[in-house]
Amino acid sequence: MFTDLQKQTTWDTIYQKSQGQPFQYFDWFLGYSSLKGLLLQLLRDMKSEASLKLLDIGCGTSELGPRLYCECPFPLHVYCVDFSPIALAIMRAQTSQLPQPVSSASQLHFVQTDIRDLSGFQQQSFNLILDKGTLDALLQANDGGETACCALTESLRMLSPGGLMLQVSDEDPDVRIVWLESLRLVTVTVLQVDTEKNTGYFAYIIKPMSTQC
């Protein structure tokens, strides 16, 4: 069992162990097929004449970013970020195997960064931010939620007006909503995401009220 999930060295070790094996995408909680409908609906509802921008924080070796890039029927710029250079190197190596995107204007980027400091991106520039398990890992830090609060605040700062954050977690709404709303930053809508094989997962649709922690 790994501890210190907020540390880059921990994740480097995890991804290093996967090297030398046949590549497989790995998704915490739910994969692309379970979330595709919700993600595309959220993006469609944003209606923009320009390309929409999605930020996948703590992407690891998830298939969500690449699959959205390939299958989104309208222009979508996908930015997959992680602080592990090993995870990003693994993902970049797979890009040549991807099919051409449905929309020729779509783009896929892999960027190394710590999500507690997203200053390399322009503020208020993303329409949708995806967090699938990343803040769950940060909430395990023994700091009273300070690291997770910092990452959430920084992420919200990146949302464009009308933008949303989608957080996927197995944490019960009675716990997660209380934590989110206690920060006085957001309003939250929660959906239970049940599939044939997976139960007990929740999608938290987060709308910012303020970007100050």
Give pLDDT, residue 198. 63
Domains of the chain: 8-97+106-208 (3.40.50.150)
**Which stretches in the chain have pLDDT values below 70?**
1-3, 195-198, 210-213
Give pLDDT, residue 213. 42
Angle between helices 85-94 and 8-18 (to 10 degrees): 40
Non-local (6+) Cβ contacts of 36 within 8 A are 67, 68, 71
pLDDT by residue (tens digit) across 108-122?
999 999 999 999 999
3-state secondary structure of 127: strand
Q: Which 8-state DSSP code applies to residue 49?
A: S
Give pLDDT, residue 144. 74
